[in-house]
Amino acid sequence: MIILIVVVFGIAGFVVSNRLKSKFKKYSQTPLQANLSGKEIAELMLADNKIYDVTVNCVEGQLSDHYNPANKTVNLSPDVYYGRNAAATAVSAHECGHAVQHATAYSWLQMRSAMVPLQNASGKILNVVLIASLLGGFLINLPYEIIGFIVVGAYGIMTLFTLVTLPVEFDASRRALAWVDQRNIVTRSEYAMSKDALKWAAMTYVVAALASLATLAYYIFIFFGNRD
């Protein structure tokens, strides 16, 4: 069953990821009428929201764009940082949407940030359990139910993290699209392109959340579903 879950959601993730890359490539080929780069759009959106303590950086990688609340940086991949098209506009404004969330103390972002240490610890716990189950060790002497509570508890935290991420990502896209529209950064056709690109970006998080939920349900059934 776990292999089936991995295969099904692995294929779904692959399809969505390829679709996202295809959309980004397609929407990168049409120059933005406003002729603004992703960097310029980010700086303009931050200024419009009276955010002056966030730095816009260029980082290596493709679709490696992210906002880091720890050091208040909007980090854009080269294609986005220098790009002057609907795809770069969408991604740049989306990441700034996270900066706006941070500046306005958006509750879901605060919850997600607070969960990061728990999520990291849960991942390490699951790695220890996996290694111990393969090599033997202290887990052999623990009751089956205790192992179940450890695995389900740790994976439950990781699943909750993926679920909390969803409203954070959707809200950042909503803020981005509202701003580029109100600011007349994009034309009607460019707005449609930006919206479509962000939709497929959001789908990657939806697939991850569904995969995590399915895996959690599987572990719950394995450890606690066969009781009489």
- 180 vs 35: CA distance, rounded Å: 13
CA separation, residue 131 to residues 7, 123, 155, 221 (Å): 22, 12, 16, 22
Q: Which two tokens stand for residue 75?
A: 């980090």
The whole-number pLDDT of residue 140 equals 59
Other C-beta atoms lying within 10 Å of the C-beta of residue 141: 7
Can you give the residue range of the structural domain that contains 10? 2-224
The whole-number pLDDT of residue 69 equals 93
Inter-residue contact 93 to 176 (CB < 8 Å): yes
Total count of domains within the chain:
1
> One of 40, 43, 60, 95 is an active-site residue; which one?
95
- 111 vs 164: CA distance, rounded Å: 8
The whole-number pLDDT of residue 83 equals 96
- 16 vs 4: CA distance, rounded Å: 18
The whole-number pLDDT of residue 59 equals 97
pTM of the model: 0.88
Residue-wise pLDDT tens for the chain (228 aa)?
667 777 888 888 889 989 988 999 999 998 999 999 999 999 999 999 999 999 999 999 988 999 999 999 999 999 999 999 999 999 999 999 999 999 999 999 999 999 999 999 999 998 888 787 766 655 556 777 888 899 999 999 999 999 999 999 999 999 999 999 999 999 999 999 999 999 999 999 999 999 999 889 888 988 887 655
CA separation, residue 9 to residues 13, 14, 54, 134, 208 (Å): 6, 8, 36, 24, 8
Three-state SS sequence of the chain? CHHHHHHHHHHHHHHHHHHHHHHHHHHCCCECCCCCCHHHHHHHHHHHCCCCCCEEEECCCCCCCEEECCCCEEEECHHHHCCCEHHHHHHHHHHHHHHHHHHCCCHHHHHHHHHHHHHHHHHHHHHHHHHHHHHCCHHHHCCHHHHHHHHHHHHHHHHHHHHHHHHHHHHHHHHHHHHHHHCCCCCHHHHHHHHHHHHHHHHHHHHHHHHHHHHHHHHHHHHHCCCC
For this structure, is 95 an active site residue? yes
